[in-house]
Amino acid sequence: MNRRINFVAALFLLLFILITLRLFYWQVLSFEQLGGLAEKQRSVTLSIPASRGRIYSSDGTPLVLNQRSFGVVLEPQKVQDKEAVFSVLSKELNMPTASISAKLTDETKVWVPIAHKIDEPVIERIKGYKLKGIDFIEESKRYYPEASMAAHILGFVGKNAKGEDQGYFGIEGYYDEQLRGRDGILREEADARGNPILASDQKSIPAENGRDLILYIDKTVQFIVENKLKQGIDKYKAKGGTAVVLDPVTGGIIADASFPSYDPGTYYKFPSEFYKNPAVSSSYEPGSTFKVLVMAAALNEGKLKPDVKFNEEGPVEIGDYTIKTWNQKYHGEITLTQILEYSSNVGMVFVEKNLDKNIFLQYLENFGLGHATNVDLQEEIYPEMRQENKWHEIDYATASFGQGVAVTPLQMVRAVAAIANSGKLMVPHVVKSINFPDGRSVQIKPQAERVIFKPEVAKAVTEMMVSAVNNGEVRFAKPAGYRIAGKTGTAQIPIAGHYDTEKTIASFVGFAPADSPKFVMLITLTEPSASQWGSETAAPIFFDIAKELFSYYSISPSD
């Protein structure tokens, strides 16, 4: 009997020791591992995605919004019918079956991303097939209510090397840090069904949404400019064209259009050379439009007055070179105003000779040549100025009529805007204000870079430009009753050390109404083949747009 009792006691003791050891193993030795597993089971960590800032036009209507989209992922271990999955995804995502199957080479992976930023209706269709192994991750993508309008200003959102959204070009690129915001994290305990347990500790870092941007871009003006420029490019059979409209007082860019262009929503379908904004990333020789700036410099130095006479009797010899007028017509004694009216190259050489060489170069610097305008667009470049010791007599002469110097369209239009703005050179800007998610708003104040002309000089040159429009080659295209200050330009394109005689960049720069300018506008056409002259191509486009803008801004005729 005792033996049995002792046996049972020993058995119990053994079991007790085993249970104690097991408990010791679980509670002491495996504490961290099991604790981690338990934590993982009951706690949930969620990423709270920050939404990218939106972009609005000057009237507060949206140019860029966010739209819900989805990433499509495959879970190889759950896929049952590979052929059906490939076929459905290929059909719905418009992807070759081979490229989908190529992504599925490693079947040990838990999930494999197949496509990103897919619209909801497509996702609903895929869900309708009820195939196992296809999953979806919520994402966000850009939505453009105005479609491809202002594409070069806006830029687009693509992926960076880490697979994160990143803005490229234009505003999206320049203000990427402001727009992208910061994702938040929420860590909480959940019950068996995944519902949060409120009594438990909750740790959260709230998401900080991106900041919204309000632009100077006026969508009505942008629409007018894009349509008219496109029609002009087709009409004059040009390879491309650019139009920039500035507010001379603030330096705000009201419209900026270039063709060829692209659709920022489907940027990947367009050649990458279309992405850069030609207004800030291409350079050209401004030709005769530059004459107004050199003329203003000469008047500003007090060396000449608008009524000074010059004898335009024939070509001018400078070293081995001969400078002629564009049409080889010479008008005898003419005033400085008539030099602009006739767009006389030899007349401009006379003007330039009245300026000291170092002062002439100082003015080029003052116009902003050789420097970035510091516009808030990512891809801005600026053509380098020739070194001072490399300027020869002929270079000064040709620069006086805009050949041998290079500018970006934005550099050119802002320098002319200084004439419209009483001589003040403004820093051009696209963004007017930044709105923070907490309701604060930061206004970006207009910034004057320097004063380059005296107000009376700006006024005098304005009158000369009005006269150039009223009495020059473009007088027939000008809308009646309005005082428009402007100047045509036809610059030959330098190719392999010489100028191409056929290919030109035709341009027109001007502002209106001349007495109280509401806008300054530059039109450039690349290689128009219907006519190579700025007066017959770019100027009519300028006036077409100006007519619409007069109506839009309710500007009455003043003549």
Partner 1 sequence: MSKHKIRISMILIVLLVVFATVQVLILNRYSTIGDRLSTLSETIDKIEEENNRLGQKIASASSMTTISAKAKEIGLSETSVPISLNSPMRIAQKLELSL
By CB under 8 A, tell whether 220 contacts partner 1.
yes
Among positions 75, 135, 139, 146, the unique one binding partner 1 when judged by CB under 8 A: 146
Site string for partner 1, 223-252 (x = CB under 8 A): x-----------------------------
By CB under 8 A, tell whether 435 contacts partner 1.
no
By CB under 8 A, tell whether 481 contacts partner 1.
yes
The span of 77-85, 377-385, 473-481, 507-515 binding partner 1 (CB under 8 A) equals: 473-481
Joined together, the tokens standing for residue 423 give 């001589």
Distance CA 422, CA 215 (A): 25
Distance CA 138, CA 540 (A): 50
Distance CA 216, CA 207 (A): 29
Q: Which residues of 483-506 are buried (b: 16+ CB within 10 A; e: fewer)?
A: bbbbbbbbbbeeeeeeeeeebbbb
The distance of closest approach from Cβ of residue 268 to partner 1 in the complex, given in angstroms and rounded to an integer, is: 22
The distance of closest approach from Cβ of residue 201 to partner 1 in the complex, given in angstroms and rounded to an integer, is: 12
β-bridge pairing 55-56 and 212-215: parallel
CB nearer to partner 1: give 138 or 313: 138
Among positions 66, 101, 354, 531, the unique one binding partner 1 when judged by CB under 8 A: 66
Distance CA 107, CA 121 (A): 29
CA dist 431 to 210, 346, 427, Å?
15, 42, 12
Pick the closest to residue 61 from 276, 219, 285 (CA basis).
219
By CB under 8 A, tell whether 143 contacts partner 1.
yes
Residues paired with 510 in a beta bridge: 486, 521
CB nearer to partner 1: give 222 or 507: 222
Joined together, the tokens standing for residue 220 give 């009505």
Ranges assigned E (strand) in 156-224? 156-159, 165-168, 184-189, 203-205, 212-215
Residues in the chain: 559
| 3-class secondary structure, 490 | strand
Among positions 93, 115, 190, 448, the unique one binding partner 1 when judged by CB under 8 A: 190
The distance of closest approach from Cβ of residue 536 to partner 1 in the complex, given in angstroms and rounded to an integer, is: 19
The span of 61-69, 101-109, 207-215, 380-388 binding partner 1 (CB under 8 A) equals: 61-69
The distance of closest approach from Cβ of residue 332 to partner 1 in the complex, given in angstroms and rounded to an integer, is: 37
Distance CA 216, CA 397 (A): 38
Contacts of 455 (CB under 8 A, 6+ apart): 422, 423
| 3-class secondary structure, 307 | coil
Among positions 195, 389, 443, 501, the unique one binding partner 1 when judged by CB under 8 A: 195
Binding residues for partner 1, rule CB under 8 A, total 35
Q: Write out the binding residues for partner 1, residues 530-559 only, by CB under 8 A.
A: 547-548, 550-551, 555-558
CB nearer to partner 1: give 65 or 84: 65
Among positions 13, 45, 47, 68, the unique one binding partner 1 when judged by CB under 8 A: 68
By CB under 8 A, tell whether 254 contacts partner 1.
no
Among positions 479, 500, 515, 529, the unique one binding partner 1 when judged by CB under 8 A: 479
- Can you give the binding site for partner 1, defined by CB under 8 A? 61-62, 65-68, 143, 145-147, 149, 190-191, 193-199, 219-220, 222-223, 479-481, 547-548, 550-551, 555-558
